[in-house]
Amino acid sequence: MKKLTLLAIAILFAGLSAQAQSFYSFEYSTALPTGSLSKYTSAYSWRGVAFSQRYAKDNNLSFGFDFSWNVFYEKMENASFEYRNSTVTGNQYRYDNSFAFLLGSEYNFTPFGKVQYFAGLGAGTTRGLRALDIGQYRFSVNTWHFAVRPQVGLYYNLGAVNALKVSASYLQNFKVTDKDAYGCLSFNVGFLFR
Amino acid sequence: MNIKNQLSSFGMALVMAVVMLSGCYPDGPEYYSDTDVVITHYDDAFDFGTVKTYAIPDSIPKISDELFSDPDGDGKPDFVNSLYANTILSTMRAQLNALGWTEVDKTANPDVTVFLTATTSENLYAYYNMYYWDWYYPGYWGGWGWYYPGYYPVEYVSVNTGTLFMQMADMRNSGVDDKLNAVWTGVINGLLSGSATDINKRINNTVEQAFTQSPYLKP
């Protein structure tokens, strides 16, 4: 429901700003797990994408919508976990999928340069799907989190319309009943289209 | 860029994301042995250090229902093929002997008796009828059932496909309300596929693991 609400807001926002100059970017995203996620899986994620849509308010400031998806995975061979008087041993396959839907803003410090530096901040919600497979069984916990994401990066202009985008961001997902706070530090590379 | 183009580019980006990620989505189990799970559970009020002797039946009944039925009328359940039963029994004996326990006949008042059953159905029968053991203890346990002091042998998972169920019964303190106290249980579950050699190797590894992860059994 939150996702739908957020999408509706984003589309409304897009509609209101249709006349403003806009640009979007698509990036390949890698990520380092932090917080409770790093306890669940410490493996670096090489599977991820990030999409961002921006409407320029002026030369420096822009607002828009961000979406990202990072997949974390780790196989733990012959691992045990204990619960009360029980011990369960087997190969564990640990998955975490985090989908972030954020409203974002960014400030471009050097809007007319060949290389443009920016910093941004986003806030919204993350859908976290976490699953542990052992034997033929799956234990899963799926949650919605309030999320914030600061970001820094640069655009390297390739021409009038396109630019190379390199960015780093930190997605912080706040604690909910079924899952502790967690996050990921992402390093992304992709293209900006104006 | 107008709103229509923006939405279509957003859609395109989402499709690309899905294709990219589904193409390299992480794999799960690759080998049959990757599905093996060993679960052990015990009664923490029981002092395993007091156990000196054990008995173990030399066949492994296949449990197909909680109620014992005997269609061939020989008074015995179906047993696990000796091709696998021998491996299970010899590994169990080696592990129990390694605890410093001595195997005795069932008539020599063992401290514990280790009951092994197997099932290939989707269910684990933790409360199966004791008539399944009438061949081992003839006429002894009419109407008895299993009791798990303060726990259930598989609390948080269902059991599927090939399962070996190990129950260690406290023979000195059982009998209240016709219940046999299972002070330790082990469940080994995995896909029953692959060659006999491969399955026996997995049985050996998993039975050993059941004891490795139960250090409290050692005096």
Q: What value of ipTM does the predicted structure carry?
A: 0.71
CB distance B26–A73 less than 8 Å?
yes
Q: Which residues of A touch B186 (CB under 8 A)?
A: none
Phi-psi region of B44 (alpha: psi -120 to 50; beta: other; left: phi over 0): alpha
Closest CA relative to residue A151, chosen from A25, A36, A56 = A25
Q: Is residue A42 predicted with pLDDT exceeding 50?
A: yes
Q: The tokens of B94 are what?
A: 């080696």
Q: What is the pLDDT of residue B121?
A: 61
Q: Which residues of B touch A193 (CB under 8 A)?
A: 9
Least confident residue range of B83-87, B128-132, B182-186:
B128-132
Cα B78 to Cα B101: distance, rounded to the nearest angstrom:
29
Q: Is residue A49 predicted with pLDDT exceeding 90?
A: yes
Question: What is the four-CA torsion angle of B82, B86, B92, B98, rounded to 10 degrees?
Answer: 170
Q: What is the pLDDT of residue A12?
A: 45
Residue owning tokens 């259930």? B152
Cα B217 to Cα B219: distance, rounded to the nearest angstrom:
6
Q: Which residues pair with B117 in a beta bridge?
A: B165
DSSP letter at B104 equals: -
B210 in Cβ contact with B163 (< 8 Å)? no
Closest CA relative to residue A71, chosen from A94, A93, A33, A45 = A45
In angstroms, the separation between the Cα of residue B151 and the nearest Cα of chain A is 8
Q: What is the pLDDT of residue A29?
A: 95
Tell me the backbone φ, ψ of residue A12, rounded to 5 degrees: -60, -45
CB distance B37–A51 less than 8 Å?
no
Q: What is the pLDDT of residue A1?
A: 47
Rounded to an integer, the average pLDDT of B185-211 is 87
Closest partner residue to A53 (CB to CB) among B10, B16, B36 is B10
DSSP letter at B74 equals: S
When the pLDDT of each residue in chain B is averaged and rounded to a whole number, the result is 82
CB distance A24–B37 less than 8 Å?
no
- Which amino acid is located at B35 in the chain? T
Q: Is residue B141 predicted with pLDDT exceeding 90?
A: no
pLDDT in tens, A81-110: 887 788 889 989 899 999 999 999 999 999
Q: Which residues of A touch B17 (CB under 8 A)?
A: 49, 51, 69
pLDDT in tens, B44-65: 999 999 999 999 999 999 887 7
Q: Which residues of B touch A194 (CB under 8 A)?
A: 1
Chain centroid, CA A79 distance in Å: 29
CA atoms B123, B125, B131, B135: torsion sign: positive
Q: Is residue B15 predicted with pLDDT exceeding 80?
A: no
Residues 6 or more apart whose Cβ sits within 8 Å of residue B185: B40, B41, B42, B148, B153, B165, B166, B167, B168
What's the helix, strand, coil split of chain A in %, to 5? 10, 70, 20
Q: The tokens of B198 are what?
A: 């491969």
Q: Is residue A67 predicted with pLDDT exceeding 90?
A: yes
If 0-12 CB within 10 Å is exposed, 13-18 middle and 19+ buried, where does residue A90 land? buried
pLDDT in tens, A154-168: 999 988 778 999 999
In angstroms, the separation between the Cα of residue A86 and the nearest Cα of chain B is 4
A187 in Cβ contact with A30 (< 8 Å)? yes
Rounded to an integer, the average pLDDT of A21-34 is 93
Q: Which residues pair with B102 in a beta bridge?
A: B53
